[in-house]
Amino acid sequence: MYYVEGDDISFESSPVDPLIVVFGEVRETYGMALLKHAGGKELINVGRVCLTHQIVSRVAFAPTGRHIVAAAMSAGHIFIYELSEDYKLNLVRYAEIGRGLADCFLMQVGEFMRAFCLVLFSDKYCIGERIACINAITGKDNKLTGKMQGPYSKLLPLSTPDTLLAIPHLSRQYHILGASTEKGGSGTVTVKIVSIIETGHDVRHFGGCATSTALITFGFDGCVILRQPHAPAEYDIKLIASHRYGWGFKQALVDGNSKYIMTLSQHKMLVIHYLNDRLPEIREDVRHEAVDPEIFETTHEIYILNNEDKTYLELQEEKKVREEAMDYKSQRTEIWKTFDQIQTKLVDLLEKNLTEIPLHQLPLSEFNLHSEAKKERLKQVKIAGEAEKEREDIRLKIEARIRAQDKVTAWIKKNCWDTMLSPRVKLFAIFSHYKRIQSRDPGRYLVPKIPGLYLAYPGIFEIAKNTSSLRSVVRCACALTLPR
């Protein structure tokens, strides 16, 4: 027996090799370890990888055992690895789907192994409508076309090539989907419904599990139905496997030889049901043995991660920082080389200038580049200062004009509007305080005498002299005094 160091530990076994993947949380980081069965009770750690800080809740093998997908279902992050013959992991693709996942698995369609991800679209139920497809060989996204009735709560690869089983949400039926690709098979995947089959369940909610030898579906009422792996319409066994107080099933599994079914109920009861009780090796009841204290020794512990392991995103960030540092270093080196070339050329020009006759020699001030740059810099500062001073003068004038207009508007609102004919339709302002001067300049109005107005705002007289400005202020004041 072995003791695994960590939290939220789960296991997944390879369908081909004597290999187990142990994945879980270690110090708020999720990773997985590859354990090879070396015979007897010995397990050898042949590899480990640090994945992410998100909760990794699903790890699945490809039917060939040469690819592994690890998915943080709630975050929508997936890792696709290629597994070599000597159990070395090679990352093919890291993808962020953008939303949570209802299901994730590997299946071969055409010539390539592909990862199918059922993307969530409901925040209340674990169901998905859109299926994301990624080529596990090249790591490229594949376009998925075709009509599906969905939404689906789970997808299961079947023993028949290019065929998968889709379990709809709230239904007593399951759909057989056929997948196909174009010639060459690396681009678009076409999915269509081949058949719709009645499951035999009495409730409209069930799950499923598929192996190379059997297909089982289990409902909330505790009913388990066993079929052949190609999902025919006829079933082999139908039994009620839960206790009447069991609250239905959370998960059900069948072994590779279809000898027994293991069920986990909603209240955490684990039950094993033998499908053939006449076999001599299963006539005795299963008995639990006490845990051997020796498993807590160092030689019997399994470590998923090392203390110095870093996640994929942390490694990518370090790589990016390192590349930027190298780029910066190379750019700095190029600048220093350019400066050295300029300095060498300048020294050559100075030496050549000294060898000339005095009449043809240039003054040393021509070679003082710093002085020329300083003059240009002072010139730019002077231009910028003049522009800033001009902008400040314009701002002060505009603020004085606004304050003067506000003063006139407030006086007009208080004293100069009388009646209106219809509310919200048309306003007839009668300004009795303004008397039109019948003189040589008929376009002028008499400015109201407001005590202290012109003393407080010297610029208001300039506004009042302008007829168009005064009319606009009066018109604005009339509009502001309309009842709402």
Q: What DSSP string describes 225-277?
A: EEE-TT--SS-SEEEE-S-TTS--EEEEEE-TTSSEEEEEETTS-EEEEES-T
pLDDT tier for residue 437 given thresholds of 50, 70 and 90: very low
pLDDT tier for residue 78 given thresholds of 50, 70 and 90: very high
- CB within 8 Å of 141: residues ≥ 6 apart: 132, 133, 134, 135
Residue 297: per-residue pLDDT: 65
pLDDT at 458 over 80: no
Helix (H, G, I), strand (E, B) or coil at 59: strand
Q: Is the peptide bond before 15 cis (omega within 30 degrees of 0)?
A: no
Which residue has better confidence, 352 or 186?
Answer: 352
Residue 455: per-residue pLDDT: 43
Residue 480: per-residue pLDDT: 41
Residue 335: per-residue pLDDT: 92
Question: How far apart, in whole angstroms, are the C-alpha atoms of residue 141 and residue 132?
Answer: 8
Q: In the structure encoding, which two tokens stand for residue 355, read together? A: 């060898």
Residue 326: per-residue pLDDT: 92
Amino acid at 288: H
pLDDT at 431 over 60: no
Which residue has better confidence, 314 or 38?
Answer: 314
Which residue has better confidence, 51 or 468?
Answer: 51
Mark residue 305 as left, alpha or beta (left: phi above 0; alpha: psi -120 to 50; beta: remaining).
beta
Residue 462: per-residue pLDDT: 52
Task: Confirm if 427 and 482 have CB atoms less than 8 A apart.
Answer: yes
Residue 244: per-residue pLDDT: 59
pLDDT at 402 over 50: yes
Instruction: Over range 431-436, report the average pLDDT.
Output: 42
Which residue has better confidence, 295 or 248?
Answer: 248
pLDDT at 450 over 80: no
3-state helix, strand, coil in the chain (%, to 5): 25, 35, 40
Question: How far apart, in whole angstroms, are the C-alpha atoms of residue 257 and residue 42?
Answer: 24
Residue 477: per-residue pLDDT: 45
pLDDT tier for residue 366 given thresholds of 50, 70 and 90: low
Residue 205: per-residue pLDDT: 84
Residue 122: per-residue pLDDT: 65
Instruction: Over range 451-467, report the average pLDDT.
Output: 47
Helix (H, G, I), strand (E, B) or coil at 447: coil
- CB within 8 Å of 228: residues ≥ 6 apart: 214, 215, 236
Instruction: Over range 323-328, report the average pLDDT.
Output: 92
Which residue has better confidence, 464 or 399?
Answer: 399
pTM of the model: 0.64
Task: Confirm if 134 and 151 have CB atoms less than 8 A apart.
Answer: no
Instruction: Over range 223-242, report the average pLDDT.
Output: 86
Residue 325: per-residue pLDDT: 92
Least confident of 69-78, 110-119, 140-149: 140-149
Residue 59: per-residue pLDDT: 92
pLDDT tier for residue 370 given thresholds of 50, 70 and 90: low
Residue 296: per-residue pLDDT: 63
Quick one: what percent of the chain has pLDDT higher than 90? 14
Helix (H, G, I), strand (E, B) or coil at 354: helix
pLDDT tier for residue 482 given thresholds of 50, 70 and 90: very low
Question: By C-alpha distance, which of 191, 221, 194, 192 is closest to 206?
Answer: 221
Question: How far apart, in whole angstroms, are the C-alpha atoms of residue 235 and residue 282?
Answer: 24
Work out the number of other CB atoms within 10 angstroms of the CB of residue 252.
24
Instruction: Over range 389-400, report the average pLDDT.
Output: 92
Least confident of 52-61, 159-168, 257-266: 257-266
Question: By C-alpha distance, which of 124, 134, 160, 131 is closest to 148?
Answer: 131
pLDDT tier for residue 392 given thresholds of 50, 70 and 90: very high
pLDDT at 70 over 60: yes
Residue 212: per-residue pLDDT: 82
pLDDT at 425 over 50: no
pLDDT at 349 over 70: yes
Question: How far apart, in whole angstroms, are the C-alpha atoms of residue 291 and residue 271?
Answer: 20
Residue 311 — φ and ψ, nearest 5°? Answer: -70, 170
pLDDT at 445 over 50: no
